[in-house]
Amino acid sequence: MTRRAKEQRLKRLEQKRAAESPEEVERRIKWNLLLQQIDAPARPRTLSAPQILSWNSSHAVVGAAGKFELPVRIECDAAELSYSFDTKEMDIEFSIVLEQEGATGTRLPPTFVVFPTRCASHETTVRGCHSIKGPGTAKLVWDNEYSWINSKQLSYHVDLMQKAAAASATSPQALLESELHVRQRISASKNATYDNLQTNCAKRAAAIVALEQQIEELQRQVAHERDLAQLEAIEAEKVGREVDVLAAELAALSWRTLPAATFPHVLSFCPPDDLKRWFVADMLIFRSHLTKC
């Protein structure tokens, strides 16, 4: 491509962009960003390390006829709870109670993960590990209510391992497949709409042509009727004049059919104004008749 051709192409491109609507400009920008994301190199997938929370104590005291509770909040759907504990002197009763939450956030009836058990924790360290479904709260309970006199010194270590939520970054290949699928579906819908509109446009065009032909025929008929009306008006005016002449002639002839003696008697019944108009209009006829009388 020559330099002049490149300049002309850039000029046409600038003119086209200058004529773009705000919606077209926004769509073009989003399209360029999408292509950049699709064409970007794929990032190596990294697995996030599980989230571990810990609780420790070496001098917790469980009073006589009392209990010690450690609530552990679970935010994810699945977690692993591990624990170890021992007492300085004498045994203690241990249990784990799980209070789960429903889909709407309501609390479900509590269930035992570990049923109440008397543990010889003063002789050996008690250990355990359990898989727990969340979300909810797991409550570790050390119960000393059965001992009304002696308190217990408790040491414990609790770990809660929750897997962190996976990163929601979409790979370029997945983005490409998703956008391709979306646009294929939109394209099929738009093509069907376009075909329907094209069919409707063809029907409208045919209807317009038929109506225009009807209008032309009606205009031709109107022009023909207008010409006939003009000719008939001229003919009517001509015939009207002839009718007037014939009426005058008939009147003159009718007067002449009267007997001479009756004529003055008939005129005596006419009002003066009618006689005057009659004399002016038919003076010659009247004079001729009077002469004969």
Both tokens assigned to 250:
């008939």
CB 140 within 8 A of CB 83: yes
What strands, in cross-sheet order, belong to the sheet with 92-100? 67-74, 136-143, 92-100, 111-119
- Neighbouring C-alpha atoms within 13 Å toward the C-beta of 77: 2
Amino acid at 206: A
CA angle 114, 116, 122 (to 5 degrees): 100
* Separation between Cα atoms, residue 51 and residue 78, nearest integer Å: 12
Angle, helices 283-292 vs 172-256, to 10°: value is 20
Q: Where are the domains of the chain?
A: 51-162, 258-292
**DSSP assigned state of 93:** E
CB 82 within 8 A of CB 159: yes
pLDDT computed for residue 208 by the predictor: 95
Token match 């008929």: residue? Answer: 221
Both tokens assigned to 259:
């007997």
- Residue length, the chain? 293
Task: Quote the radius of gyration of the chain (alpha carbons, Å).
Answer: 58
CB 258 within 8 A of CB 266: yes
pLDDT computed for residue 167 by the predictor: 46
pLDDT computed for residue 8 by the predictor: 76
**DSSP assigned state of 6:** H
pLDDT computed for residue 272 by the predictor: 78
CATH label, 51-162, candidates 2.60.120.680, 2.60.40.10, 2.60.40.1180, 3.40.50.1000: 2.60.120.680
pLDDT computed for residue 264 by the predictor: 75
* Consecutive 10-residue averages of pLDDT for the chain (293 residues): 73 73 76 77 59 89 93 90 94 94 80 94 94 91 93 94 62 78 86 91 94 95 95 93 89 80 76 72 52 49
This prediction's pTM: 0.42
Listing DSSP states for 142-198 in one string gives: EE-TT-SS--EEEEEEEEEEEPPPPP-PPPHHHHHHHHHHHHHHHHHHHHHHHHHHH
